[in-house]
């Protein structure tokens, strides 16, 4: 699937998956760990961040030609802080319970590095519409990620989901999952899963490393230097010639190219010395 660069769909997909702020960029770790004790908290935190992120991206992008280069950080902060204050008051007024449980983490969105990062990396350079969708995509990616973490933590650690009992009554909650260590554990495992899905990292080479294996193309770093007589395709000389050129001993063969390289670069420095002398 090839998406047009900077199109709204591409930006949303980028934020949700390709550059997921939590699992791929590993930004905004503090709210990720702290507000994922329950699914409801995570949704509240994620959506308020999304709103702030999309709107601040939009405004910063609109002002990108007005804001002087050297003063951009304070300018960004003013924009972000305005939106955070609005969301803060709105949440206090309309969702007091959620506001109380999120506590300091709502005001702290001001210094959330996802928002600062997107302003700096994207909204400060790109037009308004892509910036808005970039913010939306990143925000939704953040929401989806912390919702996953929070769901796992709440179900295992409390046996509930959105406050409803989902585990059988005989289930003993594993308390550690709603505490800080559980946040790190779940986060780490989900990052690993994401890596596996995304880049196939964690796949191991099938063959074990064998120190006696020939590394053809690089005779001097090969452990079979002096034993093997094959001429690798990429080399201009056979191993025997390599050794002969470096006067026969392995140690010298290894030392030879190292000595050659600085010789080329050494000339200017010696000239310099002479220059300083004179």
Partner 1 sequence: MNEKYQVSVSPHVRDSISTRKIMLFVIIALLPACIVGVVNFGPYALLILCVSVASSVAAEYCYERALKKPVTTGDLSAVVTGLLIGMNMPPQIPWWIPVIGSVFAIVVVKQVFGGLGQNFMNPALGARCFLLISFSSEMTNYAAGRGLTSLVTKVASTTDALSGATPLAYLKTGAHFDLGALFLGNVQGVIGETSAIALLAGGIFLLVMQIIDWKIPVIYLGSFAVLVLITAAARGYSNPLEFTAEELCAGGIMLGAWFMATDYVTSPITPKGQVIYAVFLGVMTWLYRMIGNSSEGVSYAIILANCIVPLIERYTRPRAFGIRKDKRQKEAGKA
Binding site for partner 1 (CB under 8 A): 172, 174-177, 179, 181, 185, 211-212, 223-224, 227
Q: What is the dihedral angle through the alpha carbons of 33, 38, 44, 50, rounded to the nearest 10 degrees?
A: 40
Q: Please, what is the minimum distance in Å from the beta carbon of residue 254 to partner 1?
A: 13
- DSSP, res 14: I
CA atoms within 13 A on the CB side of 147: 14
Residue 172 or 251: which CB sits closer to partner 1? 172
CA distances to 64, 72, 82, 114 from 75, rounded to whole Å, are 10, 5, 11, 16
Q: Please, what is the minimum distance in Å from the beta carbon of residue 172 to partner 1?
A: 7
Residue 128 or 185: which CB sits closer to partner 1? 185
- DSSP, res 192: H
Residue 175 or 241: which CB sits closer to partner 1? 175
Q: Please, what is the minimum distance in Å from the beta carbon of residue 207 to partner 1?
A: 13
Q: Please, what is the minimum distance in Å from the beta carbon of residue 176 to partner 1?
A: 4
Tell me how far apart the alpha carbons of residues 53 and 139 are, in angstroms, rounded to a whole number.
6
Place of tokens 């699937």: 1
**231 contact partners, CB below 8 Å, separation of at least 6:** 237, 238, 239
Orientation of helix 128-158 relative to helix 39-62, angle to 10°: 170
Residue 68 or 211: which CB sits closer to partner 1? 211
Q: Please, what is the minimum distance in Å from the beta carbon of residue 65 to partner 1?
A: 45
Residue 227 or 267: which CB sits closer to partner 1? 227
């Amino acid at each position: 699937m090839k998406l047009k660069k900077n199109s709204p769909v591409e930006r949303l997909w980028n934020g949700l998956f390709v550059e997921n702020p939590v699992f791929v960029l590993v930004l905004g770790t503090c709210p990720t760990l702290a507000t994922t004790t329950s699914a409801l908290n995570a949704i509240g935190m994620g959506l308020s961040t999304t709103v702030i992120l999309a709107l601040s991206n939009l405004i910063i992008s609109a002002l990108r030609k007005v804001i002087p280069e050297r003063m951009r950080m304070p300018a960004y902060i003013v924009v972000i802080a305005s939106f955070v204050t609005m969301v803060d008051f709105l949440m206090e007024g309309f969702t007091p319970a959620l506001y109380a449980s999120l506590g300091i983490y709502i005001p702290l969105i001001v210094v959330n590095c996802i928002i600062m990062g997107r302003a700096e990396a994207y909204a400060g350079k790109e037009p308004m519409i892509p910036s808005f969708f970039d913010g939306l995509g990143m925000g939704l990616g953040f929401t989806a990620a912390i919702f996953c973490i929070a769901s796992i933590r709440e179900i295992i650690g409390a046996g509930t989901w959105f406050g409803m009992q989902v585990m059988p009554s005989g289930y003993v909650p594993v308390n550690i999952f709603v505490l800080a260590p559980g946040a790190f554990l779940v986060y780490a495992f989900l990052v690993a899963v994401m890596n596996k899905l995304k880049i196939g990292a964690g796949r191991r080479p099938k063959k074990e490393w064998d120190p006696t294996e020939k590394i053809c193309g690089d005779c001097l770093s090969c452990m079979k230097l002096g034993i093997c007589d094959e001429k690798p395709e990429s080399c201009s000389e056979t191993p025997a010639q390599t050794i002969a050129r470096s006067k026969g001993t392995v140690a010298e063969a290894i030392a030879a190219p190292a000595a050659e390289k600085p010789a080329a670069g050494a000339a200017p420095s010696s000239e310099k010395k002479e220059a300083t002398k004179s």
